Amino acid sequence: MKKVLVTGGAGFIGSAVCRYLVLEKQVQVLNVDKLTYAGNLASLDEIKDNPLYQFAQVDICDGDAISALLDDFQPDAVMHLAAESHVDRSIDGPSEFIQTNIVGTYTMLECALAYWRTLQKSEDGRQRSEDGGQRTGTGLISDLGSPTSGNHRPLSSEFRFHHISTDEVYGSLGDEGLFEETTPYDPRSPYSASKASSDHLVMAWYHTYGLPVLITNCSNNYGPYHFPEKLIPLVILNALDEKELPIYGKGDNIRDWLHVEDHACALVTVVETGRLGETYNVGGRNERTNLEVVETICEVLDELKPRAVGRYKDLITFVEDRPGHDQRYAIDATKLETELGWKAQEDFDSGIRKTVQWYLDNDWWWGPLRALRYAGERLGRA
């Protein structure tokens, strides 16, 4: 790949994908993000001045703008990560999840299909296209004629539309078993239902129109640049502020934890080498109860930044459970590991230590978010 358009690239996972593509793969990236409450361009400071990186503030529901960006940028692939993603917020306000996750994905599919149909099918056709006239551009992004790419224009057979989804579409597991790619969908929240809907749309565009698509469903991510309302950053930052560490119910809900940088590597592996029309599950094989996660964070903080009095575990408090709270998620990543050769490099103990240290070292990033966007209040009471 030479050019990738990433939607939601200012979010937690999207920014990790942008950084990985630019720094590790030397790919030209166009980050398309609406910049909602969770979008943060500071997460991209490491690459913001890199000539391979560009940004356009655009809503994925704006079909005219998305089409113009595709025509101007001429990507080899679209990696579609833009989504409303917090279950608690979906309980409080489901309409935004329907609009962004379902209507937005539909819009992206329609624009990608129209763009894909303009691409040449042969080397001769591509050469004629590259020798053609200049495009005028939209004004939404600048410096499109990067010297790294020339007038690169992919063949239709080279283009990929990669839809990034979640394991929550599968519902809740019992004590045994793992989510496989063939597990029936059984979403339980407005968020997971909206993502399940978008998955079905993507696969329909593959079967009906032939659009070359790939889908990945991931387990819970953690790592640097994670918006403070999610469990791990919330616990770290509440602990540093000497606030209560809230845990839903009994804390016995189980999640499979995946470091975000491992996930970024997996996503690029899939878009480069995955089989068209296939789904790949991405997991870290790191199952932990929520209570175990919080206690591990407390133990790391006790070592790295001890409290003046007592231990961080003393701040743990159990709160009323979230409505429709799935009991257990666990991913079987065998297909991805055996077919494409990817394997998570970070285990939870090493990854959580690095994550806690990152938050200790980078209050410049999370401080403004805690002050201006989210201070740790309870969401999703239904």
Query: Which residues are known catalytic residues?
Result: 167-168, 191
Q: Tell me which residue of 157, 165, 180 sits closest to 214, measured CA to CA.
A: 165
> Please, are residues 103 and 63 in contact by the beta-carbon 8 Å criterion?
no
Q: So what's the pLDDT on residue 179?
A: 95
Q: So what's the pLDDT on residue 375?
A: 65
The pTM assigned to this predicted structure is 0.91
Q: So what's the pLDDT on residue 139?
A: 47
Q: So what's the pLDDT on residue 382?
A: 57
Q: Note down pLDDT in tens along the chain; length 382 residues.
A: 899 999 999 999 999 999 999 999 999 999 999 999 889 999 999 999 999 999 999 999 999 999 999 999 999 999 999 999 878 889 989 999 999 999 999 999 999 999 999 999 877 654 434 433 333 334 455 444 343 445 678 999 999 999 999 999 999 998 889 999 999 999 999 999 999 999 999 999 999 999 999 999 999 999 999 999 889 999 999 999 999 999 999 999 999 999 999 999 999 999 999 999 999 999 999 999 999 999 999 999 999 999 999 999 999 999 988 787 888 999 999 999 999 999 999 999 999 999 999 999 999 999 999 887 766 665 655 5
Q: So what's the pLDDT on residue 140?
A: 53
Token pair for 6: 């990433």
Q: So what's the pLDDT on residue 376?
A: 66
Q: So what's the pLDDT on residue 124?
A: 64
Query: What structural domains does the chain harbor?
Result: 3-225+257-285+327-347 (3.40.50.720)
Q: So what's the pLDDT on residue 152?
A: 78
Buried b (16+ CB within 10 A) or exposed e, 177-207: ebbebebeeebbbbbbbbbbbbbebbbebbe
- Residue 226: is it exposed, middle or buried by C-beta count within 10 angstroms (0-12/13-18/19+)? buried
HSE of 252, CA atoms in CB hemisphere, 13 A: 4
Q: At what angle do helices 63-73 and 104-118 cross, to 10 degrees?
A: 40
Residues with Cβ < 8 Å from 90, sequence gap 6 or more? 84, 97, 189, 190, 191, 194, 380
User: Which residue stretches of the chain are H helix?
Assistant: 12-23, 63-73, 87-92, 94-97, 104-118, 123-130, 190-209, 231-240, 260-273, 290-304, 334-340, 348-361, 363-372
Task: Report the SS3 class of residue 260.
Answer: helix
